[in-house]
Structure 1
Amino acid sequence: MKRWLQRYQRIGIATKQFIFFFVVTFIMFMALALNNLRDAEALFRDQVVRDAQQLIGRTNQYLDSYLDNVQNMLLLLSTRDDLFLEGHEEEAAKTLRTYASYNSSVARTLYLVREDGRVYSNAQVNYEIMGNPHLESLYRLAMSNYGAMNVSEPYDSPLSGKTIAYVLPVTDRNKSQTRGVAIVEIDLERLTGLVAPLLVSDNQTFTIISKKNNVITYTDPNDKLLPYVPGTFLPQLQSSFLEQLGELPVGVRTMQSNANSLVVIKSSSNRLGWSLICFIKEDFFYQNVRKLYRNYRDAGMIWVVVLFGSTWIMTRHFTRPVRGLAAKMDRVRDLGALSHISVDRFDEIGTLARSYNAMMERIHTLLSETKEMEVKKKQSELKMLQSQIAPHFLYNTLACISSLARQGRVDDVRETIKSLVALLSFSFNKTSEFVTLAEELEGLQRYVQIQRIRYGDVFTLTIDVEEAALRSKLLKLTLQPIVENAIFHGIVPNKKAGCIHIRGRLQHGMLRLAICDDGLGMPPDTMRGLLLGRKETPSKYSFTGMGIINVHERIRLHVGQPYGLKVRSQEGRGTVVRLLMPYEEWIGEPPIRE
C-alpha cells in the first residue's frame, strides 16, 4: 500500500485530478446502480429519474448557453463607453437596435442609463411613451456590486412583459469614471418556449425558480399537474407550494399536488442562483418495466463516456497552463536572456503569468542598471588608481638631482633627468591603460635607474623574460609597485646588497611573472594580510602611491577573480610575488607615448 501511495505522489497534478474525479464519480455511479438494480420497479424509477436529471442537466447547459449570449452582449455594450457621451444619442439608439435585432431570440429590450438619468433604448419611442419604473432600482442593483454583472428578480416590464434584467456598470477605458449602466431585459416567454418541448408532456412539466422563490418561466394554463391560484389572468403557482419548492433540497423527492403524487427532481443552482425543477407523475414509473433495463444500460454507457471525456478535458484545461508556466520558470538559467510568457488568459493563471513577466522585466532592468553601475565603478576605480603620483617621489628625486648638480656630476644629472622625464611620460600617457610587457619593463628600468642613482649599488635588477612574452598586453604600472615594495621594504632595510629578479614565461595560454628578492622577507601574519586591505597612506618612497593591493585589485577588475597576485615570503630569506594573467598578444604597433 505504501508503494502505491508513493507512486501516486510522484505523478502529475493532471493525472491525480483525472484519477480522483473519475474514480470517485465512477464509484458513486456504480454504488447507485447496484442499489437501483434490486428490483424492477426501483430500477425503472431510478432510470427515469436519472434520464430526467440528465435532461435537466442538459437543459441547464442550454440555459447557460442561452444566458451566456445575454452576458456576451452586455459585455460588448460595456466596451462602448462612448455611447454614454453627449452627442452620441443617435449612435446609441442605433447600436441598441442593431444588438437587439442580432439577438432577438435572447433580448427583448435594451437600455443604456446614464448617471444623469438619461435613458437610451432600442425601442426609444415606446419607452418615451410607456416608460419603465424599474430602471431606477435596476441602476441601484448594478451599482451595488460595482464591476460585476448582476441579474434582477422577475418583474413586469411595460416594454418586455414578464422579464428579468441583466445589468452591468460601464466605465471609461481607464476604469476611473462610471459612464452609466447597460441593461438587457430578456424574453422569458421565448425562453420558456425553448425549454418546454424538452421537459413538458402529459406526465411531466417543469418550472424555474429564483433564489427568492420567484417563478422565472411562463406557466402553461393547460397544465393539470401543479396547483395554481384560481381566477388569475396569467396562471400563478400557489405561494405555499412555492415555499415548499424553495425548501426542497437538491435531488429527488416526492410531493402531493392536487390529486397527483409527483416525483420532484430539483437541480442545483446555476450561476444565477436559479433552480430548474421537473415534476413527473409517479404513476408513470409503472408503465413499462422492460424499457428500464435498456434505458439504464444506454444511459450508463453514455454517462461513463461523458464522465471520462469531461474529466480528462477539465483536468487538462486547468493544469496545462500551470505546467507551461512551471516549464518557463524552470528554464530561467541565464539572467541575461530572460524568457517571456505569452498570456491569453484572464483568470488567476493569467494573472500569475503577467506577474511573472513583470518580475522578469524588473529583474532585467535591475541587471542592466547593476551592470552599468559596475562598469562606471570599474572605470572610476581604474582612473583613480592610475592617476596617483606621489609628491614624495618627485621631491626626493629632484633633491637627488640637486645634490648631483652640486657635486658636479653632470652625466648623472643628465641621465637622472632623462629617466625621470621618460618615467613621467610613461605614467601620464592616456592613449591606453594597457602596454606591452616590453614597454612595462622599459619603464621599470627607468624607475630602477633613478633609485640606483639615489642609493648606489645597494641592489641589482635582473630580467629573464622569454621573447614571446614581451608582446603580451599588460596593465600599465603593474611591475613598478611590486619592485618598489621589494626595494624599500625588503632590500634597503636589510643593510646589505640585494638582488631583484624578474622571470616571465607563457604557459598554457597564461602569462606568468615572478618577482623575487632576497631581502628581509615578511612574517606570516603580514604576508597573509598583504592582499586583504588597502594602505591608508602611501609610502613616502612611492612613485604612484599604489601598493601591491592596488595592483592586485586592478588585475581582478579587468580580467576577473581567478587572476591577480600571490605572495610567498620567508623572514630572512626574501619574498616572491607571482602574477597570473590571461595571455593576449598586442596586435599592431605598440601604443605611442605622449
Structure 2
Amino acid sequence: MSKLFNWYSGLGLATKQFIYLFIVTLFLVMVLAYRNLSEAEALLKNQVIRDAELLVGRTNQYIDASLDNVENMLLLLSTRYDLFEDGNEAIAADTLRKFADYNNSIAKTLYLVRTDGKVYANEQVNYDIIGNPMLPELYKLALENYGAINVSEPYYSTMSGHTLAYVLPVTDARRQLQGVVVAEVNLDSLTERIAPMIYQSYALMTRDGNIINRLDSRDKMLPYQAGAYPPVLQESFREQLEAVKIGVSRIEGNHHEMLAVVKSTTNRLGWSLAAFIEEDYFYQGLQQLNNNYRTASVVWMIILLLSAYLLSRSFTKPIRRFVEKMDRLHDVQIVAKLPVTRKDEIGRLTQSYNDMLERIQTLLHKTKSAEEQKKEYELKMLRSQIAPHFLYNTLACISSLAKQQRIDEVRDTIRSLVKLLAFSFDKQSEYVSIEEELEGLRMYMHIQQVRYGEQYTYELDVDPSLLQYRILKLTLQPLVENALFHGISPRNGGLITIKGKLEHGVIRLYVRDNGIGISRTEARKALHDQFEQERSKYRFTGIGLRNVHDRIRIHHGVPYGLRIGSTPGVGTVIRVGIPVLTENDERLGIMG
C-alpha cells in the first residue's frame, strides 16, 4: 500500500486528476446503473402516471378556457337585441359571420332564433338550403333556465356535424323576450387540439355519460360496438368508465387487456376527461434498458479513459479561468473585455461573451437615452401646455361680450374654455380617443372664431370608424394652431380642413390650410432643431411641430410621425401617421 501511495505521490498534477476523475466517475456510473435498473420500473410507471395527470389537468383547463370563449361570445350577442328587429336581417347575418370568423376554432355555427321562428345564421345560404331540425329543441332548452346559459347534450347537426350547443335567451331593455342565440361548438376542432395532449387514448364525457369527442375506430385499446358508425363504446365499458373514481384507476379494455385510467374532476358543465394508458407500456422498454446498460458499461470504460485525460488537459483549466473572470463581473456598463488567446471553442466562447457585453452596453445606452428623451419632451409639453396670454385675451374677449350684453355668446365661450382647460389638464392618461381630440379642436376653434370672427373657418372630414381609436393627447391641436397663426392669420382669414382615413393599416390624419404656405426648404427643415417658427403669444400652447413629431416617434417608433408639404401662396398640408391603437391595447401596454 505504501508503494502505491508513493507511486501516486510522484505523478504529475494532470495525471493525478486523470486517475481521480476516472476512478470516481467509473464508480458513480456503476452505482447509478445498479440503482437505475432496480428502480426503473417504478419510476417509469410513476412518471407516466404523473405526466398523464398533469396533461389531463391542463387539458381540462384548456377545455374550460375554450368554452369560456363560447359563453363570452353568447353574452356579447345577447346585448345586441336590435339584431332581432325587422329590417336588420343583413346586419344580423353580418354580425354572426364576424363572430364566427373570429371564433372559428371553437364555434362552428351561430344562430339567432326570433320568437316568431325566423332564424338568422352566419352561413345563411347553407341554412336556407339544408336547415337545422334541432333548433326548436334548442329554443326550448334556452327557456328552461330563463336568463342563463344552457348547454345541450352532443347531437348531429346538418350544419355543424358532430356538435353540442350553447343557448341563451335574449331580452330587450324592457325585459321582453326577443329570441334565442345559439352557438354550435366545433367538436372536431376541439378533439384535434386535445388529442396531442393525451397519452395513447382518451374520452371526454358529459354528466349523462355521453361521449363528446369523436372516437377513432383505429384505436385498438377501447372496445367498440360492432358495426356501429361513427364508433360507439360498448355499453359495459361505458358503465365501467362512469363508475371510475377521480384520479388513477385500472379498467379492463379491449381483448381483456388492463388499462390505467387517469380521470379528471368535473368542470362547471359536469364534463370529465379520462386518459387511457396500456399497462404493458410501462414495461416494454425495461429489457432494452438492461441490455443498453451492459453495452454502455463496456463502451464507457474505454471512452472514459480518453475523455478524462482530455478533460484534465484541455478543457477544465481554461473553463475555470473563464468562469472566474465572469464571476468578477459586477457592472456591465463598465467592464474590460476578456482577451481572446485561443482559436477553439473556448476562444469562440470568449469572443461571443465579449460581443454579448458590447450588445448589452449598446442596448442599455439606447434605452437610457430614449427614456431621458421621452421624459424631456413630456416635461416640455407639460410646462408649455397653457400659454397665459391665451387665457388673458380669451377672458378679455368674454368681458367685452358681457359688456355688450351678448349673454349667449358669453355662456358658450366660457363653456368652451372650461372644457378645453379640463381636456388639457386631465392627467389620467396620455392617450385620448380621436373623437375626444376632435372635440377639443371644436372647442378651441369656437374660442378663436369668437375672438377673431367667422373668417377663420374649419371643416372636419374624418372617417367615423376611426373615432374610437386612441391618439396621443394634443396631437392635432398644435398643428391646427400652427396653421391658424402661421398660415391663414397673415391673410386675415382662411379655411383649415382636418381629414382622417385608414391607409394600409395606418391611421392618416391631414391638417390642411389655404394660407401663405412656405418654401420646400423650410418644409424640409420644419421638423429639425435648426428650424423654429416664431410662436405667437396668443397661442393656446407652446407645443411646436417638432414636439408632436418626436412624441409620436418615441411612443410608436420611427415609421410614424409628421410629414409636411407646402406651396407658397397656396397653403400647407401636414400628414400625421399613427398606428391603429384601441383602448384595450393601451391597457395592455401595446403601443405600436
For normalisation by structure 2, the TM-score amounts to: 0.41
- Structure whose CA Rg is larger: 1
For normalisation by structure 1, the TM-score amounts to: 0.41
